[in-house]
Amino acid sequence: MHRLGALGLGLAGILLLTGCAERIAALTPQVFSRPKPKDTSGIPIFTEEVYAKKPLRVYKIPTPQPGKPPEETVIGETGSYRVRKGESLLDIARYFDLGVNEITDANPGVDIWSPPVGSKVVLPTSWVLPCCNYQGMVVNVAELRLYYYETDPHEPGTTLVRTYPVGLGRDDRRTPIGKFSVTGKTVNPTWVIPPGILRDHIREKGDYRTMIKGGDPDNPLGKYRFELSLEPYRIHGTNIPWGMGMTVSNGCTRLYPEDVEYLFPLVKVGTKGEFLYQPVKVGVRNGQVYVEAHPDLYNRGSRIPPAGASTLKAAGVDGDSPRVEAVLHESRGIPSPVGSEGSRAASL
């Protein structure tokens, strides 16, 4: 469970029984620009109210053209944060819109619950975009992260990119791979409890409820839900935010409450999307080639994809070079430069 050790076991015990969306179909957006991640200066003490108003960044890239390699496929900046008294890595991750997997992979050996006060932790707030769908909603299952692309209405030739950490299906109920479209949107959805989870609730808690109404604190769907054509899976909020970056659901995709509230009015019914599985990503920014690697979440294999291999080859970088091998071995989820792009002849 992404090197989480005791954390994974502890949180999983809390989260497993909350389940996924029901098994049958059942704001004016505001563009924020988060400053470059830095130390604690000016950052308020973390509370639910602060999380609800945390700044969310919108990135811009040149719109990729069909049949041509994208000009830019790396967004964000890796930063650092100085730990304050009483803060856990989970608290810090949520404010900077990271999953548990991301902040722990980027900071191996750091105590998740009690990182040393005054120490600096790495904020892995930069990402290589998954290849090669740059439209609509894209969930890269292997990194537990969602990307939302839309055309910039004010700047022709520019695509806006928003990205959020997610919680996904546990190993015995894996989130699928495949394309979908958004077929509906629901505020305060009712959770119809799947039979398997109902049996767990009865056995472990003596809870015989077959459904939980929208708005109930026990409802694991949170306040907002996207229905998908890929039945029975959904993208929705949560009543337990600390599961972002973990495999704890029955296959559906969970978002931080504040993230899904921001995303909900932006995504229209009919929006296309896709679940991908790319533990290794290769991208380009300012003529430099980057590789980003994550642990192989579902043990499906973590080789460099063909498009990524083409990009490396065009840049004159050997996929078996020590620099690339080191990035793959460490799997810290941070884009790392491996060589300059010598040619744009590669077909992504």
Active site residues: 236, 252
| Secondary structure, 3-state, the chain | CCCCCHHHHHHHHHHHHHCCCCCCCCCCCCCECCCCCCCCCCCCCCCHHHHHCCCCECEEEECCCCCCCCCCCEEECCEEEECCCCCCHHHHHHHCCCCHHHHHHHCCCCCCCCCCCCCEEEECCEEECCCCCCCEEEEEHHHCEEEEEEECCCCCCEEEEEEEEEEEECHHHCCCCEEEEEEEEEECCCEECCHHHHHHHHHHHCCCCCEECCCCCCCCCCCEEEEECCCCCEEECCCCHHHCCCEEECCCEEECHHHHHHHCCCCCCCCEEEEECCCEEEEEECCEEEEEECCCCCCCCCCCCHHHHHHHHHCCCCCCCHHHHHHHHHCCCCCEEEEECCCCCCCC
Residue 147: CB atoms within 10 A of its CB come to 24
Judge whether 136 and 95 are in contact, CB under 8 Å.
Answer: no
Nearest to 315 by CA among 64, 65, 73, 63: 73
